Structure 1
Amino acid sequence: MDEQREHGRGGPSLPWGGPPAWRHGPPWWNRQDDVADIRRLPWLTTLAITLFVQIGSKYAAHSQLDRVDLDIPGRLLLLAGTASLLLRHRFPITVAYFTAGTALLYLGAGYAYGPVLITVAIGCFAAVVAGYRRAAWGAVAMLWAGHLLVAHWLYRWLPPDGDAPRTWGEEIIVAVWVVAIIAVSELARVKREQWMKERAEREQAAKRRADEERLRMARELHDVLAHSISVINVQAGVGLALLDSDPEQARTALTTIKAASKEALGEVRQVLDTLRTPGDAPRAPAPGLDRLPELVQQAASTGLTVDVDTRGRCKKLAPGVDLAAFRIVQEALTNVVRHSGSRHARVLVRYEAAALTLRVDDDGPATGADAGGSGNGLAGMRERAAALNGTIEAGSRPDGGFRVTAVLPTRTASQEDQ
């Protein structure tokens, strides 16, 4: 039964869903890609050009009584030239030479000058815009050379009977047509290339902005999660160690875990809300140095003592600078909690005329244990500083500790609004 189905009248099912007689695919009228390609052809403009050329050539024949009347062969030549314009975007070189050839045959047959040259102009225009300048020049040169040959030598054997050679003044008119065709085509080509370049630049700028936004979001999520999870990790260890011997202290550790996780969830939700609706204002203000006491308190809950020294005259920073300063201090303290054996850190905040200096020191030494981090903390701090044209220096101190120093150019909030 299966073999009969395979070789019988029903035939095997084919990937394109057609009957088995279509061994090489369905016929052209049933191929979806071909139908879509046909629909994309410039039908309307080609039809308008065809009507204009047919009607205009009839009026041109009435005004040029020394030329041959427009008959059926002449109309067929005009139709062949304009019909080829349907393919001017796919085969610009072929169409350019074909329209020039049909126009040359039309004029060589003695028909009147007129809109037939418009067909050549459009064909060569499409070739130039598509980047085939030499082909367009060659087609126009072929038309001009052929016209010179017909008008000054072959006219004796071509209709109309008794025709005289064309004057050089008429040749100048044809030359002006040629120059006009090329000039307009070149201008369109330049405009098109300029438009494509601007479009590519806009797309590149949009892609760059998207990459920058994605990087900014990654930094935000890293800083929020790294700090909060470090606090949770330390407090979870304390709670487990004291669960039996000191339940009250274990309760305090659990309370700290709850507060840190709640804060982390709130900040992550704010970042995700920004991703979903990038044009909306954030529901909560971005953190800044005014929340430095919270960092100190969270660090204290992990057993880390933080001394904060503020120097200079405090001023309201621009939101971008304030957020970067907060995140840098947060990440630096997180690294102390994770990687340092010291239980003491010092934070220096110095306001200067045109810069904000941040310095975070710990006495070390490094624990050398795997803290489970991503290793992107210092890279994120450098990216934040670089985005503001600032600098970050991080490294070991001669006495065995570790130091992070950030210098951020400052602008006040009012200056950023301006």
Structure 2
Amino acid sequence: MHAFTGERGYGHGPGGWWRGGPFGPPGAAVPWRSSLGVAVVQLVGTGFAAHRQPGRTDLGPGLYALLLAGPALLLLRHRHPRLTVLGTSAVALGYLAAGGPAGPVFLSVVVACVAAVAAGQRVAAWCAVGGLWAGWLLIAHWLYRWLPPPGDRAAGWGQEVAVAAWAAAVLAAAELVRVRRERWARERAERAAAVQRRADEERLRIARELHDVLAHSISVINVQAGVGLALLDQDPEQARTALTTIKAASKEALGEVRQVLDTLRASGAAPRQPAPGLDRLPELTEQAAGAGLAVEVATDGVRAALPPGTDLAAFRIVQEALTNIVRHSGSRTARVRLSYAPDELELRVDDDGPATSDDTADGATGGGNGLVGMRERAAALGGTVEAGPRPDGGFRVHARIPLKVTPAATALPAPPAANEETP
């Protein structure tokens, strides 16, 4: 009896068959096309090889059944990879024991082995190939005396090196497929995570924008509505002024909300209006004045043009700080200081307090996100926001934003204390 290589021709490898993609994940559709292709190759290839091997057992119903049994088992390789690789190895070993002509009978074993390793059944694949090799050694060097064809002789031990190399090549190909599938799966997961992360970041950005716009404008409207109700009978002119402020604040809020929503309706379209920045600080102080809060603005250093993201973040931080004062402080005066440095913008918003006690009556429950939004905006640009009571009384918001944008901090900002939150 002869080895896999040489006369019997069992060393003919898959020849790139596995690159056709017949190894799907468990639970995939039945791979009948690739299994049919394996059956055709085994039948036709073995038929041609039989004409050149007159000393071997003639192909009959039994050998044809073994040649078809391997491809039939391949139909199960996606759902039962372990059973398939063990079964095809047993079928190939039976073909060897029957003394059939040399040919591509091991193609089924190769396909099943690669599919099993790719599906994570590495132990089963290694055991199947190792068992087939051990069986071949028994048949080629001992059992050949009692197996067909009559008069066969033992195979040379030197040929077993080629057999071992063939088995190692099959297992190496299977491991290569497994590594590539794992890499592709990891890349798909990373891409999906990146898409989800961008969606989450965009959702948080829109939530912050809406919060900052609505919290400020509605706070002004709330204060002016109270003034208008109190003075409606006593001072109609002052009540008219309050209503005018309400109208202006609501109009501006509607415009900014519409701008945010337009970016959602038309994906990829540029905003119709530029994002607000510190150049709109006079409008912000005017609105605060309409709510009864006098704002003093001071600037240190040479004012320079800011990157759009930094300009927007600085404006929103000042806006949110003034909104906090209007809603939660008894002070009617606020001080805003902007300090420009070559590499940093520093913001400081102070009020003298004290904190009001009517937050609950106004609907504030202490569960707001105002200071959380400030910290997130600053952290996204590599900056920080500190907020809390001053030692001499009152409240201070202190922000530092680098002008050279750095990667966002990986950790989320610490949650604010209950007395720092805005609704």
The TM-score with structure 1 as length reference comes to 0.87
Alignment partner of 1:210 out of 189, 192, 199: 199
Aligned partner of 2:280 among 274, 291, 294: 291
Which of 375, 398, 407 does residue 405 from structure 1 map onto?
398
Distance 1:337 1:38 in 2: 61
Q: Could you tell me how far 1:284 is from its partner in structure 2?
A: 1.3
- SS of the residue corresponding to residue 75 of structure 2 reads helix
Instruction: Return the letter of the residue paired with 1:397.
Output: R
> Any conservation in 2 of the 1:350–1:358 contact (CA below 8 Å)?
yes
SS of structure 2 residue aligned to 1:87: coil
Per-residue CA deviation, residues 327-349 of structure 1 (Å, 9 max, x unaligned), is 00000000000011010000001
How do residues 80-159 of structure 1 correspond to structure 2 at under 5 angstroms?
Answer: 80-159=69-148
Matched, 1:253 2:247: no
1:169-220 CA-to-partner distances (Å, cap 9, x unmatched) read 4333322221111000011111111221222222222222222221111111
- Give the counterpart letter for 2:393 in structure 1: G
Q: Secondary structure at the match of 1:357?
A: strand
- In the alignment, what sits opposite 1:48? 37
SS of the aligned residue for 1:137 comes to helix
The match for 1:225 is 214
User: Structure 2: which amino acid aligns with 1:244?
Assistant: D
Letter in 2 for 1:386: A
Partner of residue 377 from structure 2, selected from 346, 365, 384:
384
1:394 alignment counterpart: 387
**Letter of the 2:309 counterpart:** G
Identity %: 65
**Cα distance in 2 for residues equivalent to 1:394 and 1:247:** 39
**Which AA in structure 2 matches 1:276?**
R
Does the aligned pair in 1 maintain the 2:27–2:78 contact within 8 Å?
no
Matched, 1:185 2:174: yes
CA contact (8 A) 2:28 2:78 kept: no
Give the Cα–Cα distance (whole angstroms) in 2 for the partners of residues 270 and 59 of structure 1.
Answer: 75
CA distance in 2, matches of 1:313, 1:60: 90
Distance, in Å, in 2 between the alignment partners of 1:313 and 1:173 is: 80
| CA distance 1:185–1:366, shift in 2 (3 Å) | same
Contact residue 331 and residue 354 of structure 2 kept, 8 A: yes
What is the DSSP-based 3-state SS (H/G/I as helix, E as strand, rest coil) of the residue aligned with 1:164? coil
Which stretch of the first structure deviates more once superposed, 172-181 or 306-315?
172-181
8 Å Cα contact 1:317/1:411 also seen in 2 = no
RMSD over aligned CA atoms reads: 1.6
- Kindly indicate whether residue 381 of structure 2 is the aligned counterpart of residue 356 of structure 1: no
Does structure 2 conserve the Cα–Cα contact (< 8 Å) formed by 1:140 and 1:178?
A: yes
The one-letter code of the counterpart of 2:347 is L
Q: 1:127 offset after TM fit, Å?
A: 0.7
Change (3 A) 1:39 1:342: closer
Is 1:372 the counterpart of 2:358? The answer is no
| TM-superposition CA deviations, 1:233-272 (whole Å, max 9, x none) | 0111111111112222211211111111111111112222
Name the structure 2 match of 1:199: 188
- Residue 38 of structure 1: how far off its partner (Å): 9.9
Partner of 1:11: none
Please say if residues 28 and 79 of structure 2, whose CA atoms lie closer than 8 Å, have aligned partners that are also in contact: no
What is the CA–CA distance in structure 2 between the aligned matches of 1:402 and 1:121, rounded to whole Å?
75
Q: Deviations over 1:99-128 (max 9, x none)?
A: 000000011100122211111011111111
Alignment partner of 1:358: what SS?
strand
Moved more, 336-345 or 278-287: 278-287
Query: Are 2:259 and 1:266 equivalent residues in the alignment?
Result: no
Q: Does 1:77 align with 2:70?
A: no
Tell me, yes or no, if the aligned pair for 2:216 and 2:319 is still in contact at 8 Å. yes
Contact 1:64 1:112 (8 Å CA) reproduced: yes
In structure 1, C-alpha distance between the alignment counterparts of 2:310 and 2:116, rounded to whole Å: 54
Residue 309 of structure 1 corresponds to: 298
Letter in 2 for 1:196: A
Asked if structure 1 preserves the Cα contact closer than 8 Å seen for 2:378 and 2:385, the reply is yes
Given that 1:155 and 1:163 are in contact with CA atoms closer than 8 Å, whether structure 2 keeps it comes out as: yes
TM-score using structure 2 length: 0.86
Q: Deviations along 1:357-416, whole A, 9 cap, x unmatched?
A: 00000111111221434521111111111111101111111221110000001149xxxx
| Alpha-carbon distance in structure 2 between the residues aligned to 1:346 and 1:326 | 15
Corresponding residue for 2:325?
336
How far apart, in 1, do the equivalents of 2:159 and 2:103 lie? Answer: 13
Q: How many pairs are equivalent?
A: 376
**39-48 or 94-103: which moved more?**
39-48
Report the CA distance between 1:278 and its aligned residue.
3.7
- Are the equivalent residues in 1 in contact too, given 2:330–2:353 (CA < 8 A)? yes
Following TM superposition, by how much is the alpha carbon of 1:69 offset from its aligned partner in structure 2, in angstroms? Answer: 2.2
Q: Tell me how far apart the structure 1 counterparts of residues 81 and 278 of structure 2 sit (CA, whole Å).
A: 64
**Kept in 2: contact 1:81–1:98 (CA 8 A):** yes
- Contact 1:340–1:367 (Cα < 8 Å) also in 2: yes
Contact 2:383 2:402 in 1 (8 A): yes
Unmatched segments (≥5 aa) in structure 2: 1-25, 406-423
CA distance in structure 1 between the aligned counterparts of 2:285 and 2:153, rounded to whole angstroms:
103
In structure 2, how many angstroms separate the alpha carbons of the residues matched to 1:360 and 1:178? 75
